[in-house]
Chains A and B, each alone.
Chain A
Amino acid sequence: MEGASYQRFPKVKIRELKDDYAKFELRETDASMANALRRVMIAEVPTIAIDLVEIEVNSSVLNDEFIAHRLGLIPLTSERAMSMRFSRDCDACDGDGQCEFCSVEFHLRAKCIGDQTLDVTSKDLYSSDHTVVPVDFSDSGAGYENPEDQRGITIVKLRKGQELRLRAIARKGIGKDHAKWSPAATVTFMYEPEIHINEEMMETLSLEEKTSVVESSPTKVFALNPQTHQVEVVDPEAYTYDDEVLKKVEAMGKPGLIEVYAKEDSFIFTVESTGAVKASQLVINAIEVLKQKLDAVRLLEDTVEADDQFGELGAHMRGG
């Protein structure tokens, strides 16, 4: 292929890794790459979620649609999702939920007999496949003190005599189709900030003025060294680009006292997972999905169909 190559070799440094939380640095790449990764994590990494509910008995206070909606939002462990088939692409079945390639069946039976209100939770869902079960938060160290809180996600509460019986089918899907399939609770990144303090100008300030500069930032970015009485940058990443310090410095009549630059090619990612897949796996899956998408473009590029599909653009893509 002709033309300039924009290939870069990004570096990743992992800062912190928990089951449902990951923080890492992504360096030597562009905002477009970082953002593509973020978007794929939110909208295109597949998971499994309940998609079809057949209600046999429902005498609870919530209506059928309400319960079906709540069931759909329960995160299910989806390590298998990447290798599963989409129900619409599956030719081994007709989408009746009995197919091992594309669906998992769940059953729920609950009836309240006692006087105490019965909480029907995600723990009452029985899966036909032990690899796809409702996410269990009790061992993730979320710090529940009350044992009752460990009973999973509440679906509905039943009083004496009320009953809920249903069959549900979970399918593979992506967040683009419905938010219930999104594995990401939070995916965000920030540009790494570079903070410069003009020491010469800073020396002209009184101690009081220095304190006010330090305190003008809502987050703890700066600190006053108690010995040297110098303003120091303690945590540049705490800076949220809120411009509060810059405005303060300006108001003091000392523009240029503190300057902040955003490094255009290094990003600090924060990824929180819903529990459907581990946060680390989420990132890896996202890269995999992104690769598949690029492969699809490359395949098109090599074929003549590209010309049909994209017209002049197809020729252009091949470097014509």
Chain B
Amino acid sequence: MSFLLSLSCGIIPFANHDHAKRVLFQFQKHYQQAIGYSTTNPSIRVDTLTHNLFYPQKPLFKTVLSDSLGTPKHSIGQTSHAKHEYYNGQCAIVAVNVHLGYNQEDSLVMNRASLERGMFRSEHVRSYKAEVFNKESFGKKDKAEDNTVFGKIQSKIGHVDKLDEDGFPYVGASLQSGDIVIGKHAESGSDYSMKLKNGEKGSVQIVLSANDGGKNFATVSLRQVRSPSLGDKFSSMHGQKGVLGFLESQENFPFTIQGIVPDVVINPHAFPSRQTPGQLLEAALGKGIALGGSLKYATPFSTPSVEDITNQLHRCGFSRWGNERVYNGRTGEMVESLVFMGPTFYQKLVHMSEDKVKFRNIGPVHPLTRQPVADRKRFDGVKVGEMERDCIIAHGPTANLYERLYTLCDASHMHVCRKCNNMASVIQRSVPRGPKIRGPYCRFCESVEDVVKVNVPYGAKLICQELFSMGIAIEFESELC
């Protein structure tokens, strides 16, 4: 029956116990987003972006389908090898518990000591490619000026300190955002160098150059090692995704009588509405397997019964239902309730907070509206939209609202004539017996008396001018202050 399922679905333990929506979720979205390990040529491949997990593990449970993965047993000399497939996750000790309110709404708490020991550490390699026409193969028929070559020149667009004379950085160089990765320039001197975009950095792993069909290619790949940090996304095999909410020290976690401390703490509220008891069964079965139990298979549609799992746990000297007595790590007192704990296969997904952080103080603005731009690569701001505005209004911090929507957005001013309530534009006009002066002037009243300056967002001023150009005048009533 489990062979009806696809590869990625067939290795979900107890998939038949989960809500179908969750299973679909898992193998369509999370499974391909999970960070695993590139099996072929990991050290020389130059994909645009790859992620590799430091310590991929095999799940504790097996399914009939997972047995079919990897290369079969074959012998080299005397020793026989069966190569297992690399899985894209790790077995974490998961406790279903609340933890100081830091795992609300699908967030999870992780053990900092576990992370420091290498759990969910991963490397991220990004490659930069560039090409130039090969001069030799083209002869001299090209115009000499347009010929671009790789090489180091003093660039105005970024730092070139880490580059060698050939225009490539040396292996091991640590590049920051704003540095030049590949130096490229025309013989005329104009600069075509490739620059690291905002937020990109890393140390140089591979530098390759080759020529093919009259073109010279170059590739530089940058490596970055990341340990999980707040905001990184994780998922179990049952569509239970969550972001990291807090890194807690080992000694603060509740500990069992054997001294076992959870790696991950998830919130019990993740279960009732999601209908994924498969995860609980996985943890309970995994615990039995870790203790040397003989029941190892969790093949969908032929899963062991709950009774078998609980009996296996009982035989291993543990509470039948996977619960454990724990002591409070901060006070040393016994916790009143039992806590469900067990090894669960968890995956680190590619969505990491480091790639998504947004911050800016002063930055580029849109030339028409003078509001901050919304381009991801150009230090974009985060929009305070209508809903956010409503929320601020509801809470009442008007000074904050004023700051977000005016001072820090598109603060501007315009002039209004208090006599005719029309907008007074800044013009250059000649005054009898004097030089030309530039300033606000009401052309309806032909005077500068009663012209006042008002603070308005540039966007508001813009629409008034646009309406004015269509023949619609807006009158402004103003009050002096």
Binding site for B on A (CB under 8 A): 31-32, 34-36, 38-39, 42-43, 61, 63-66, 69, 73, 175-176, 178-180, 182, 186-191, 218-219, 240-244, 262, 270, 272
A241–B249 Cα distance when bound, in Å, is: 25
Q: Which residue of A lies closest to B121 (CB)?
A: A69
Please indicate the chain B residues that have their CB under 8 angstroms from the CB of A178 in the complex: 116
Contact mask for chain B residues 307-340; partner A; CB cutoff 8 A; 1 contact, 0 none: 0000001111111100111010111111000100
Q: Are A73 and B257 in contact (CB under 8 A)?
A: no
Contact sample, A vs B, 13 pairs, CB 8 Å cutoff: A32-B331, A35-B332, A38-B251, A39-B329, A42-B251, A43-B249, A43-B251, A66-B54, A66-B123, A189-B332, A240-B325, A270-B258, A270-B259
Max chain A Cβ within 10 angstroms of own Cβ: one of B121, B223, B314, B330: B314
A66–B320 Cα distance when bound, in Å, is: 40
Q: Are B249 and A73 in contact (CB under 8 A)?
A: no
Please indicate the chain B residues that have their CB under 8 angstroms from the CB of A191 in the complex: 334
Q: Assess whether B103 is interfacial by the CB under 8 Å rule.
A: no
Counting from the closest, the 9 A-B pairs by CB-CB distance are A35-B332, A188-B259, A179-B113, A186-B259, A179-B116, A241-B325, A31-B332, A65-B225, A242-B319
Q: Assess whether B256 is interfacial by the CB under 8 Å rule.
A: yes
Q: Are A180 and B116 in contact (CB under 8 A)?
A: yes
A66–B43 Cα distance when bound, in Å, is: 13
Q: Are B318 and A218 in contact (CB under 8 A)?
A: yes
A270–B203 Cα distance when bound, in Å, is: 44
Q: Which of A64, A66, A242 contacts B172 (CB 8 A)?
A: A64
Please indicate the chain A residues that have their CB under 8 angstroms from the CB of B377 in the complex: none
A38-B251, A179-B116, A243-B338 known; A65 and B325 CB under 8 Å? no
Q: Which residue of B lies closest to A238 (CB)?
A: B317
Q: Which residue of A lies closest to B314 (CB)?
A: A218
Q: Are A63 and B116 in contact (CB under 8 A)?
A: no
Please indicate the chain B residues that have their CB under 8 angstroms from the CB of A64 in the complex: 172, 203
Binding site for A on B (CB under 8 A): 42-43, 54, 112-114, 116-118, 121, 123, 172, 203, 205, 223, 225, 249-251, 255-259, 313-320, 323-325, 327, 329-334, 338
Q: Which residue of B lies closest to A55 (CB)?
A: B172
A39-B251, A186-B258 known; A218 and B334 CB under 8 Å? no
Q: Are A240 and B257 in contact (CB under 8 A)?
A: yes
A31-B333, A43-B250 known; A179 and B256 CB under 8 Å? no
Please indicate the chain A residues that have their CB under 8 angstroms from the CB of B223 in the complex: 63, 65
| B195 CB → nearest A CB, Å | 24
| B295 CB → nearest A CB, Å | 16
Q: Are A66 and B317 in contact (CB under 8 A)?
A: no
| A187 CB → nearest B CB, Å | 6
Q: Are A244 and B334 in contact (CB under 8 A)?
A: no
Please indicate the chain A residues that have their CB under 8 angstroms from the CB of B172 in the complex: 64
Q: Which residue of B lies closest to A267 (CB)?
A: B332
A182–B114 Cα distance when bound, in Å, is: 12
| B347 CB → nearest A CB, Å | 20
A34-B332, A61-B43 known; A188 and B117 CB under 8 Å? no
Q: Which of A31, A188, A218 contacts B258 (CB 8 A)?
A: A188
Please indicate the chain B residues that have their CB under 8 angstroms from the CB of A39 in the complex: 251, 329
Please indicate the chain B residues that have their CB under 8 angstroms from the CB of A272 in the complex: 259
| A36 CB → nearest B CB, Å | 8
A42–B121 Cα distance when bound, in Å, is: 22
Please indicate the chain B residues that have their CB under 8 angstroms from the CB of A42 in the complex: 250-251
A34-B332, A61-B43, A73-B117 known; A188 and B257 CB under 8 Å? yes
| A82 CB → nearest B CB, Å | 20
Q: Are A182 and B250 in contact (CB under 8 A)?
A: yes
Please indicate the chain B residues that have their CB under 8 angstroms from the CB of A189 in the complex: 327, 332
Q: Which residue of A lies closest to B225 (CB)?
A: A65
Please indicate the chain A residues that have their CB under 8 angstroms from the CB of B225 in the complex: 63, 65-66
Q: Are A244 and B332 in contact (CB under 8 A)?
A: no
Please indicate the chain A residues that have their CB under 8 angstroms from the CB of B331 in the complex: 31-32, 35
Please indicate the chain A residues that have their CB under 8 angstroms from the CB of B327 in the complex: 35, 189-190
| B336 CB → nearest A CB, Å | 11
Apart from A31-B332, A63-B123, A243-B319, list 7 A-B contacts with CB within 8 A: A38-B332, A73-B117, A182-B113, A188-B257, A219-B317, A240-B319, A242-B318
Q: Are A69 and B317 in contact (CB under 8 A)?
A: no
A66–B223 Cα distance when bound, in Å, is: 12
Q: Which residue of B lies closest to A43 (CB)?
A: B251
Q: Which residue of A lies closest to B323 (CB)?
A: A242
| B242 CB → nearest A CB, Å | 23
Please indicate the chain A residues that have their CB under 8 angstroms from the CB of B315 in the complex: 218
Please indicate the chain B residues that have their CB under 8 angstroms from the CB of A241 in the complex: 257, 325, 334
A8–B319 Cα distance when bound, in Å, is: 36
A42-B251, A43-B251 known; A63 and B205 CB under 8 Å? yes
Please indicate the chain A residues that have their CB under 8 angstroms from the CB of B323 in the complex: 242
Q: Which of B43, B112, B257, B338 contacts A190 (CB 8 A)?
A: B257
Q: Are B251 and A218 in contact (CB under 8 A)?
A: no
